[in-house]
Amino acid sequence: HARRRGYLYEVRKRGGYYPTRRLQTIAAAIDATDPVVDMVHPHLVALRDASRETAVLGKIQGASVTYLDVVESEQAIRYTRQPGELRPLHANSIGKAIFAELPADAQQTLGAQLSFERFTDATVPDLPALVAQTAPFRAQGWAENFGESAPELSALAVALPLDGDWYGLSVVGPTERIRQHRDAHAALLVDAKARLLAEQARA
C-alpha cells in the first residue's frame, strides 16, 4: 500500500492524495506536488540556517507522522531522515504539536489508534499521559520531545493550520544541543509559524 509505505499522504480539503518527496525521488516523472510543501520549503531552509539543526515539515497520516520535506543540518552530527518516512505519533514532536491542537473527542479517537510502543524510558506510555503532556504545549504554542523515540535525539515543533489542514514544523537534533538552545529554537519556530500564516493570509 503506497500510503502505508510513505509514498503518498492525504490532503483532506482537496479530497485526494499527493506524492511525498520520497516518491518524487523514486519516480522523477511525478511532478504534482502539494502547494503547501512548496510554500513551506523556503521557511524550512531559513529555519535550518537559523537553528543550525535539521528542519522538518510533516503531518499526521493515520496513527503516524509522515515527513513531507526535510532540510538537513550542515553540522557533522545531525538528524538525518528522508521525506516520506513515517514516525510514531506519540513519540514525535510534530505529532504532539498537532495532537495538542485537536478537540478532546478527536484526541480520543486518534489516541485509540496508537500502539504507545515504548522506545525509551521517556516515551509516553498511554493516552491519558499523552493528553496530560500535550495540554501545556497548546497553551505555550509549541511542543517538545526530549529523547522519547531515541535517547540521543530531541525536537521542538509547532502545529500549522494551512489550507484547511494541520501540518507541523520541527527542529530536530542531538538531545544535548536541543536542550541547550530550547528557548531560542522555540522562538524560531513560533516566528516561522507566524510568517507562514501571514503568507497564507496574503495568498
| Predicted pLDDT of residue 115 | 94
- Rounded CA separation 188/67 (Å): 20
Cα–Cα nearest to 80, from 71, 90, 91: 71
pLDDT in tens, the chain (203 residues): 544 455 555 666 555 555 555 555 544 333 345 788 889 999 999 999 999 999 999 999 889 999 999 999 999 988 888 888 899 999 999 999 999 999 999 999 999 999 999 999 999 999 999 999 999 999 999 999 999 999 999 999 999 999 889 999 999 999 999 999 999 999 999 999 999 999 988 87
Domain tally, the chain: 1
Q: Is residue 105 part of a domain?
A: yes
Q: Is residue 16 part of a domain?
A: no
Three-class secondary structure of residue 125 per DSSP: coil
Q: Is residue 59 part of a domain?
A: yes
| Predicted pLDDT of residue 117 | 97
| Predicted pLDDT of residue 163 | 84
CATH of the domain at 91: 3.30.450.40
Predicted TM-score (pTM) of the model is 0.85
Q: Is residue 2 part of a domain?
A: no
Q: Is residue 7 part of a domain?
A: no
| Predicted pLDDT of residue 75 | 92
| Predicted pLDDT of residue 32 | 42
Q: Is residue 23 part of a domain?
A: no
Give me the residue label for grid cell 499527493.
18
Q: Is residue 176 part of a domain?
A: yes
| Predicted pLDDT of residue 26 | 44
pLDDT in tens, 97-129: 999 999 999 999 999 999 999 999 999 999 999
Beta-strand pair 86-88/54-61: unpaired
Range of the domain at 157: 33-202
DSSP code for 102: S
| Predicted pLDDT of residue 8 | 54
Cα–Cα nearest to 32, from 50, 16, 53: 16
Q: Is residue 101 part of a domain?
A: yes
Burial code (b: 16+ CB inside 10 Å, e: under 16) for 5-41 equals ebbbbbbeeeeeebbbbbbbeeeeeeeebbebbebbb
